[in-house]
Amino acid sequence: MSDNRALRRSHVLANHILQSTPLASNLSLTREVCLQYSPPELNENYGFDVKEMRKLLDGHNVVDRDWIYGLMMQSNLFNRKERGGKIFVSPDYNQTMEQQREITMKRIWYLLENGVFKGWLTETGPEAELRKLALLEVCGIYDHSVSIKVGVHFFLWGNAVKFFGTKRHHEKWLKNTEDYVVKGCFAMTELGHGSNVRGIETLTTYDPTTEEFVITTPCESAQKYWIGGAANHATHTIVFSQLHINGTNQGVHAFIAQIRDQDGNICPNIRIADCGHKIGLNGVDNGRIWFDNLRIPRENLLNAVADVSSDGKYVSSIKDPDQRFGAFMAPLTSGRVTIASSAIYSAKVGLAIAIRYSLSRRAFSVTANGPEVLLLDYPSHQRRLLPLLAKTYAMSFAANELKMIYVKRTPETNKAIHVVSSGFKAVLTWHNMHTLQECREAVGGQGVKTENLVGQLKGEFDVQTTFEGDNNVLMQQVSKALFAEYVSCKKRNKPFKGLGLEHLNSPRPVLPTQLTSSTLRCSQFQTNVFCLRERDLLERFTSEVAQLQGRGESREFSFLLSHQLAEDLGKAFTEKAILQTILDAEAKLPAGSVKDVLGLVRSMYALISLEEDPSLLRYGYLSQDNVGDVRREVSKLCGELRPHALALVTSFGIPDSFLSPIAFNWVEANAWSSV
């Protein structure tokens, strides 16, 4: 039966072919263009100076940023390719994991040879640090793997040597690190412990007969895990370990250990395994490390905080173990600073691509036989992208402010930097993931294509929400710090000073019951409602913890039970701090179009943040009618920001080559001639 059916089908096909009209001999295969790409610049006007806006957004080192952009575009190492008449540079994510790792290292060598890393560890001062941060940010715009691998080497390994070490370490390691004679990694995370650094299980003892430390991995959960650079390239590592001296655990300390020789051979008493393929960042060779009674010289203890004498005596100027641990953790803030800023540049890439695409791609008609409508002319599409654009702007100013307080840090500001960087790192990385997902959906099926970046970037940047501190844990740390400050000031009857809590010294703001458009856009109203929310949540949080303690619960367990209020408070604190940074930037501007547009962006940031927060209704800060007013105003702002959409993403200053084909002539990029 099946043979007969196949025979009948073959007859039908043969007859169809024989009876078909023959092709004309002069038939041209040139395509008829039904839909043509029209560059947004032909129809969109710049209502303000995009160069001035870019200076505001980047904040610093614009010339240095453009220089490294140019370096990357000049070299074939950065995978130059032509699409739709334009040259693009982006990683080839179709390469194997091994290929991605090797090309990442080659790109780093290229940047090294061209002087990108000059002075990164040997020059000091705010200007040198800001330049380093700017260049790292551009590395991350090109490829997160490059920036992470560079960041581990300089900001984790290098900064650990610089800040945990003393003169003997600086002289031996810093210049060699800057020149990549030494390739460093950073072994803190373990299989069994990530955010809880105090609980790590790697064990170090001291042998006074040989004046050596002995590092041991006592159990499988103590293996160092996710160590960037360890699987292939790193020659040395910073080892975080419990230090036991004469039977007493002195807590977590940092040591330098060599894990490979200069030929790349793994050293004796070291075992290294690969963490394997990941959902992103496959250009980074994450590895696992076991130490089998590894002996290192006494001088390899990074001893800025504590030391061990040759005869085995433990000495430290900081007697309190908690303060000593805090001293070890304080210099690591740089990781959260760079992650927060990197997340915002990733969101900028996604938005620049999605918004440019929406200004040239059309779909459906609103009238019979009428022209198809640009995606961004649909109110629903504006609602998807323009609030995220406003948030990205506000968070750009927040990231810049975080960098400024970091490079100008003093011992007195370390606490504030820890709290602010924790909140910003969490909120900005969450925002990036939300933005990339919305951008991926907003460009439709094109977002699934790797070369169009927005879908790929989700996997590349997802890890930011958990490394350098799980975001939920960081937000709890923010709330605990606010709790401690509140209780301390109340107990001592002192005015609030620092952490942006000065508003608690003033009377409680009273919000108007009727919210007009002008009221909602008023900076004072926005400040008042953000301050009221933070004040009320802080009071509720401290009251709930006190009630639980009054019932016999410990403070720590009371914090755990109050986690929902803690999360709301952490978010309220961070969003208020972000609002303040864009208000400060706006206040410094002279009257004009840049200031006017930034005012619209600031109002959009403030109102969309309020609209998205259920606590406004939950705790009665706004009525149901008020919340409706906020929602309608957001929609109005979408319409007012729509004419500025192209100018706002152009102000990001990201060269066309670092975006993707669908941001430009997506018809030509997909034409048969490009196959």
The whole-number average pLDDT for the span 402-406 is 96
| pLDDT score of 3 | 52
- Position of tokens 């957004």? 57
| pLDDT score of 32 | 44
- Position of tokens 């790929």? 456
pLDDT in tens, 30-78: 444 477 889 999 989 999 999 999 999 999 999 999 999 999 999 999 9
Q: Is the pLDDT of residue 90 over 70?
A: yes
> For helices 593-611 and 563-587, what crossing angle results, to 10°?
170
| pLDDT score of 16 | 40
Q: Is the pLDDT of residue 317 over 90?
A: no
Which residue(s) pair with 290 in the sheet?
A: 271
d(CA 277, CA 93): 12
d(CA 507, CA 488): 19
Active-site amino acid positions: 468
173 class by beta-carbon count within 10 Å (0-12 exposed, 13-18 middle, 19+ buried): buried
Residue pair 362/372 in contact by the 8 Å Cβ criterion = yes
> At 668, is the pLDDT very low, low, confident or very high (cuts 50, 70, 90)?
very high
> At 211, is the pLDDT very low, low, confident or very high (cuts 50, 70, 90)?
very high
Considering the chain, what is the average pLDDT of its residues? 93
The residue among 453, 431, 427 whose CA lies nearest residue 440 is: 453
| pLDDT score of 96 | 97
| pLDDT score of 323 | 84
Q: Is the pLDDT of residue 28 over 60?
A: no
Residue 592 gets the label, from left (phi > 0), alpha (psi -120 to 50) or beta, of left
| pLDDT score of 22 | 42
| pLDDT score of 19 | 45
> What percentage of the chain reaches a pLDDT higher than 90?
87
Which domains are present in the chain? 185-322 (2.40.110.10), 329-658 (1.20.140.10)
The whole-number average pLDDT for the span 520-540 is 97
| pLDDT score of 674 | 82
- Position of tokens 């070291």? 270
Has 516 been labeled as part of a binding site?
Answer: no
Has 189 been labeled as part of a binding site?
Answer: yes
| pLDDT score of 18 | 44
pLDDT in tens, 279-292: 999 999 999 999 99
d(CA 188, CA 173): 19
Copy the structure tokens of residue 153.
Answer: 């080497």
The whole-number average pLDDT for the span 306-314 is 96
The whole-number average pLDDT for the span 524-539 is 97
Copy the structure tokens of residue 294.
Answer: 């590894």
pLDDT in tens, 331-342: 678 899 999 999
Residue pair 270/251 in contact by the 8 Å Cβ criterion = no
pLDDT in tens, 556-592: 999 999 999 999 999 999 999 999 999 999 999 999 9
Stretch (H or E) spanning 295: strand 294-297
d(CA 219, CA 201): 8
The residue among 430, 403, 432, 402 whose CA lies nearest residue 500 is: 402
Q: Is the pLDDT of residue 329 over 90?
A: no
Stretch (H or E) spanning 365: strand 362-365
| pLDDT score of 319 | 87
| pLDDT score of 411 | 84
The whole-number average pLDDT for the span 151-169 is 95
In angstroms, how far apart are the furthest CA atoms of the chain?
A: 100
> At 4, is the pLDDT very low, low, confident or very high (cuts 50, 70, 90)?
low
Distances from the Cα of 138 to the Cα of 59, 113, 241, 653, angstroms: 14, 17, 34, 11
pLDDT in tens, 435-472: 999 999 999 999 999 999 999 999 999 999 998 889 99
Copy the structure tokens of residue 638.
Answer: 């979408």
| pLDDT score of 540 | 96
| pLDDT score of 325 | 86
Name the 3-class secondary structure at 142.
Answer: helix
| pLDDT score of 331 | 67
Do strands 314-316 and 306-308 pair parallel, antiparallel, or not at all (unpaired)?
A: antiparallel
Stretch (H or E) spanning 214: strand 212-216
